[in-house]
A and B are shown apart, each in its own frame.
Chain A
Amino acid sequence: MTLDLLEVVLTWLVGGLLAASAALTLVRITIGPSVLDRVIATDVLVSIVVCALGAYAALTDAWTTLPLLISLSLVGFLGSVAVARFVARDRDAPAPDPVPDRLEEES
């Protein structure tokens, strides 16, 4: 009986945490500021969705969602790589010149 209660509580906790993470990530996707920030945030969102689908499978014994997870993780990766390539059109441009070293000496 208490075990069932524990399961219910933990299930809601997991769901709530993942929903909160997804909402925060959506905020970052919305405010940017650059395309690459949004790409990183989208990657994290894909991972959160993978986590959520996995948790859903585990909590409701819906094991048919597992192949979905594989395709999702792979497709998310391809998307972010494509956007990164698109942003870095000048891909053979040299790295920016080193700016003067401003590291503090250890005190």
Chain B
Amino acid sequence: MSAGGVGARDRLSRARRRLPGVSPAAVLWLTAVWVLLWGSLDVLNVVGGVLVALVVLVLFPLPRVDLRLRLRPLAFTILVVRFLADLVRASVEVAWLAVRPGPVSRGVVMDLELASDDAFLQTLTAEMVSLVPGSVVIDLEPGTRLLTLHALGVRTRAQAERVRHKVRAQEARVLRALHPDPEALLDPRRRRHTPGAEVTG
């Protein structure tokens, strides 16, 4: 930030205290959506977009999401590229299962415990798991970190374990890309004992 930055930041934080729901990122995002909806980039659209974004955020304040994330560019690139490749593979697989002659395949319902406590990262993992090969998410209990999913074409215990392994790998990629300290969750030697992990029936 420049010399005027301190004053500007001061004013900004004061403004934020007065308007708790209004975050600059949200204003920017809503303005971008507004401009894209109008389909042309000019002053009127940008000003109108900022005004609409402010009105929306003041009238419908969102709960503050406490995101403690750290973006690692390399791990994030791996996450995105791998996800797109998985999406293509999953689509082709399911499409083939749908059109191939012969008996149609069934699946099983299974569940597993996620490593992270963060609701945002859990949601991101669940959404991605729904789109990668073999699995669709059915249920997610954030408190107990229990993810219930449906796996297509699983018949044996070893195949079920393979699906669990894949989901864990997906979560590991998400954590490595965004979590501030992924190894604390992923490394079994450093995994902290969390009370509450035992209460599931």
Contact = CB atoms under 8 A, between A and B. Distances in A.
Q: Indicate yes or no for A touching B, C-beta below 8 A.
A: yes
A66 B39 CA distance: 9
A105 B156 contact: yes
A52 B82 CA distance: 29
Interface in A12-67: 66-67
A104 interface: yes
B9 interface: no
A103 B39 contact: no
A105 B157 contact: yes
A86 to B, nearest CB: 18
A106 B148 CA distance: 23
Given A95-B139, A95-B148, A104 B156 contact: yes
B160 interface: yes
Chain B interface residue count: which class? Answer: 10 to 19
Contacts of A106: 156-159
A70 interface: yes
Contact of A103 (B37, B139, B148, B156): B156
Interface in B6-50: 37, 39
Nearest to B37: A67
Nearest to A103: B157
B184 interface: no
Nearest to A63: B39
B156 A70 contact: no
Nearest to B146: A95
Contacts of A107: 156
Contacts of A103: 108, 154-157, 160
Contacts of B156: 103-107
19 contacts: A67-B39, A70-B37, A95-B139, A95-B148, A103-B108, A103-B154, A103-B155, A103-B156, A103-B157, A103-B160, A104-B155, A104-B156, A104-B157, A105-B156, A105-B157, A106-B156, A106-B157, A106-B159, A107-B156
Interface of B: 37, 39, 108, 139, 148, 154-160
Given A70-B37, A105-B157, A106-B159, 4 more contacts: A95-B148, A103-B154, A103-B160, A106-B156
